[in-house]
Amino acid sequence: MKTLSSYKIFAPIEKDTLWSYEIVENPDQMKLEYPNTVLSPKKIIFPQREVYLEFLASNEDGLEVKEILPDEKPSIIFGVRPCDAKALTLTDKVFGGDFEDLYYWKRRKQTSLVGLSCNTPPSPNCFCLTVDGSPYSKEDLDVLMTDLGDKYFIETLTKNGEQLVNSAKTLFKTPTEKDKKDLLKIQTEAKKKIKRQIANIKKIPPKLKEMFDSPFWDEESLSCIRCGICTYLCPTCHCFDINDEVDSLSPLQGKRVRTWDNCQFPDFTMHSSGHNPRPDKAARLRQRMMHKFQYFVERYKNYQCVGCGRCISQCPVGIDIIEVLDKVRDYGA
């Protein structure tokens, strides 16, 4: 059996005044009574910048290419919120399929998720209930912890989760009937504390499809300053760029890197000829809404949103995905 010391453990830590999932070096750094992290744990599985091959000029073959794969050490994301865990089930759909993305899956398969129920919403903009989530959703978790006040209620959900719990057996006791009642009570109350929602969300995908050519997008996108923070912070956004970085020109040596990219940037879709299928902010805001609530639904049968509220809380000009979709639903009615 693996001991806990054989894992890299990520947990919510306040770093540079921001909450984020970072490697725990000292258990005191870790705090579970944290607000929503600014960056989601997506970066652990799908890093913001990743070197995936190196190239080097050689005399014999002209050039050598070396594949750089992620290291094999297993990880635990400790205290992950149910919405962020659910987000990984959505990026799984993208990075899986006919062409499995080796880099994503190497990390994904060796990462265990120890979740933490949200007794109170970690952000005022949480709306997980609307998008098929819940503050104590077990989806994709190995273990779910719920704070009962003076202790945590631990639910092991997978074989892997069982092994994790067994590796620190002395910390746990069998729950009493009262513990089980308390758990139910806390979970029921947790749901009521989520204040935001998108009413009649099922009407939104077909309505979006009708509204592709609507002037609505021009109006809605006027305030956007195309900073792209909405998609960088989104736990479900997966778009990336690939570029070469040169360390030496002679002999040629360098690396190929993939980095997060952003559909809100003008050059995201611009052809080298200058032709741009999404030439303005309206087309790009439309793409973000359509991708999450229409295209993704059509392709993968899920909303590409887990209701974490980060894009709302952090948008510098107050574009609110819930308000935009509310307007879409009611447009022309």
Partner 1 sequence: MEPNTYIPKLASIIHIKEEVGGARPIKTFRAELREKNGFSFKCGQCAMLSVFGKGESMISISSSPLIKDYLQFSILKMGRVTSSLHDMQVGDTIGIRGPYGNGFPIEKWKGKNMIFIGGGIGLAPIWSVLHTALGKREDYGDFMLIYGARTSKDLVFKEELEELRKKMKVHLSVDVDEPDWKEFVGFVPLNVLEIKPSPKNAIAVTCGPPIMIKFVIQNLEALGFKDDQIYTTVENKMKCGIGKCGRCNIGMHYVCKDGPVYSWAELKNLPQEY
**Footprint on this chain of partner 1 (rule: CB under 8 A):** 52-53, 55, 61-63, 65, 67, 94-95, 97-103, 212, 238-244, 246, 249, 252, 254, 256, 261, 263, 268-273, 275, 277-278, 283, 290-291, 294-296, 298-299
Q: Cβ 216 to partner 1, closest distance in Å? A: 15
Q: For 318, phi and psi rounded to 5 degrees? A: 75, 25
C-alpha distances (whole Å) from 307 to each of 55, 128, 242, 272, 312 are: 41, 4, 29, 36, 10
Residue closer to partner 1 by CB (options 55, 216) is 55
Residue closer to partner 1 by CB (options 19, 55) is 55
CA 220-296-212 angle, 5° bins: 40
Residue closer to partner 1 by CB (options 68, 168) is 68
Q: Cβ 237 to partner 1, closest distance in Å? A: 8
Tokens of 148: 């009962």
Interatomic CA distance for residues 2 and 32, integer angstroms = 24
Interatomic CA distance for residues 131 and 123, integer angstroms = 16
Contact 117, 82 (CB under 8 A): yes
Residue closer to partner 1 by CB (options 27, 62) is 62
Q: Cβ 47 to partner 1, closest distance in Å? A: 15
Residue closer to partner 1 by CB (options 189, 244) is 244
| Helix residue ranges, H only, the chain | 42-45, 82-95, 102-109, 159-166, 177-192, 204-210, 216-220, 229-233, 281-290, 296-300, 310-314, 321-330
Q: How far apart are the first and last CA of the chain?
A: 61
Q: Cβ 330 to partner 1, closest distance in Å? A: 22
Q: Cβ 110 to partner 1, closest distance in Å? A: 17
Q: Cβ 268 to partner 1, closest distance in Å? A: 5
Residue closer to partner 1 by CB (options 3, 273) is 273
